[in-house]
Amino acid sequence: MRRALELASSASHTSPNPKVGAVLVRDGSVVGEAAHQGPPYPHAEMAALEGIDAAGTTLYINLEPCSHHAALDGRPRLPCCEAVAAAGVRRVVAAMQDPDPRVRGRGFGYLRSRGVEVEVGLLGAEAKELNAAFVHHRTTGRPLVTLKLALTLDGRIAAPDGTARWITGPETRRKVHKRRAVADAVMVGAGTVESDDPQLTARDVGAERQPLRVVVDSSGRTDPKAKVFSGAGEVLVATTDASSHEVHVAWKEVGAEVIVLDGSERGVDLGELVTALGERLVLDLYCEGGAGLATSLLADDLVDRLELHYAPKLAGKGGPDIGDLGVRSMSGAHLWRIRETARSGDDLLVTLARRREG
């Protein structure tokens, strides 16, 4: 199973599909193995079965073999559970059930009905973490939302004059580019586009693809000449009917897609936006601020993971800041669980997951 997980992690980007590795073993020896490389490539177990005699083998796989007859785009397909049973595999050891509504235990059910022995749960926690965004999306319909903030030690995201370049050091900024390269979408607020004019692409990290860039701009202040509209990859502007038709046309002329959503008192209804991104098969949404967007995402409790990049600096109060989260006393503070801490050059990275109960 360790080998299956290793194979699964070797694929750089499989979204909207999961990362899957499959290993076929007979008498303690590996007779076939493969990783899924993302659509339109075959599922891992299909690729592992290719060209070998799998009779009597044990299949180690980090996800339940699928049972559905149509791909997301409607293409007809042979379910892997049928191929696995037909190949004579004797036993399937899977790390976890497939949360995809088309599968959810039906793959295991089919295998058992064909006399294949099934065991579930080996290295299950690791398997769930490897496909955390996939699991979240298939369970909730929404992407796993990560908010990244570059902070001074006193929790400031900018200096009193508004400057935020740069808070963290080059090693940490490079990590952000790597993270963008694997995200399905990166999201920023109009304020950040205005003040930093970022391109938001993954640069100098050998990215094979670029994430969808999402700009949240309720009032239509984003200049169509902003750098975010240049470079490889698609751009989507999420706005409300408070912005003018003229600016929508101007954004479209520079190649962006525009979606008009309901407005809340803080701007674009972010719950609606996150749901719309889930429907477009964004599984992993990486949000990069600024203060307004971060505050709204946190206040609306839409953030599942936080990546805090602390630089060893103090800036004091006076600059743009994380605002009112609706918390009135410490007993109402939003709770987070530390998942990981790491040094990055001179910076300290803390990754957290939202603790919604207890």
Interface positions with ligand AOF (CB under 6 A): 17-18, 20, 36, 39, 43-44, 63, 66, 71-72, 77, 80, 98, 100, 103
d(CA 4, CA 35): 8
Interface region with Zn ion, contact rule CB under 5 A, candidates 63-71, 126-134, 206-214, 325-333: 63-71
At its nearest, how many Å lie between ligand AOF and the CB of residue 77?
5
Please list, in sequence order, all residues whose beta carbon lies within 8 angstroms of the beta carbon of residue 76, skipping any fewer than 6 positions away: 69, 70
d(CA 94, CA 4): 10
> Which of ligand AOF, Zn ion, none sits in contact with 100, Cβ below 5 to 8 A by type?
ligand AOF
Single-letter residue type at 254: V
Task: Return the number of the residue (39 or 319) whose C-beta is nearest ligand AOF.
Answer: 39
The dihedral of CA 127, 287, 158, 355: what is its sign? negative
Task: Return the number of the residue (47 or 236) whose C-beta is nearest Zn ion.
Answer: 47
> Which of Zn ion, ligand AOF, none sits in contact with 98, Cβ below 5 to 8 A by type?
ligand AOF
Task: Return the number of the residue (39 or 155) whose C-beta is nearest ligand AOF.
Answer: 39
> Which of Zn ion, ligand AOF, none sits in contact with 144, Cβ below 5 to 8 A by type?
none
Task: Return the number of the residue (85 or 151) whose C-beta is nearest ligand AOF.
Answer: 85
At its nearest, how many Å lie between Zn ion and the CB of residue 106?
12
Strand order of the sheet with strand 257-260?
257-260, 235-239, 212-216, 185-189, 284-287, 144-152, 305-311, 347-355, 335-344
Cis before 56 (ω within 30): no
> Which of Zn ion, ligand AOF, none sits in contact with 77, Cβ below 5 to 8 A by type?
ligand AOF
Task: Return the number of the residue (8 or 215) whose C-beta is nearest Zn ion.
Answer: 8
At its nearest, how many Å lie between Zn ion and the CB of residue 43?
3
d(CA 44, CA 288): 33
Contact between 43 and Zn ion per CB under 5 A: yes
Contact between 247 and Zn ion per CB under 5 A: no
> Which of ligand AOF, Zn ion, none sits in contact with 18, Cβ below 5 to 8 A by type?
ligand AOF
Residue with tokens 């800036």: 315
At its nearest, how many Å lie between ligand AOF and the CB of residue 331?
40
Contact between 80 and Zn ion per CB under 5 A: yes
Task: Return the number of the residue (281 or 314) whose C-beta is nearest ligand AOF.
Answer: 281
Extract the tokens encoding 119: 């065991």
Question: What is the three-state SS of 173-240?
Answer: HHHHHHHHHHCCEEEEEHHHHHHHCCCCCCCCCCCCCCCEEEEECCCCCCCCCCHHHCCCCCEEEEEC
Please list, in sequence order, all residues whose beta carbon lies within 8 angstroms of the beta carbon of residue 119, skipping any fewer than 6 positions away: 91, 92, 93, 94
d(CA 287, CA 302): 11
Single-letter residue type at 226: A
Among 35, 49, 54, 66, binds Zn ion (CB under 5 A): 66
CA-based nearest residue to 157, from 348, 288, 306, 320: 320
At its nearest, how many Å lie between Zn ion and the CB of residue 242?
45
Helix (H, G, I), strand (E, B) or coil at 276: helix
Catalytic residue list: 45
Task: Return the number of the residue (74 or 358) whose C-beta is nearest ligand AOF.
Answer: 74
At its nearest, how many Å lie between ligand AOF and the CB of residue 76?
9
The dihedral of CA 146, 152, 153, 156: what is its sign? negative
At its nearest, how many Å lie between Zn ion and the CB of residue 80?
3
> Which of ligand AOF, Zn ion, none sits in contact with 296, Cβ below 5 to 8 A by type?
none
What residues make contact with Zn ion under the rule CB under 5 A?
43, 66, 80
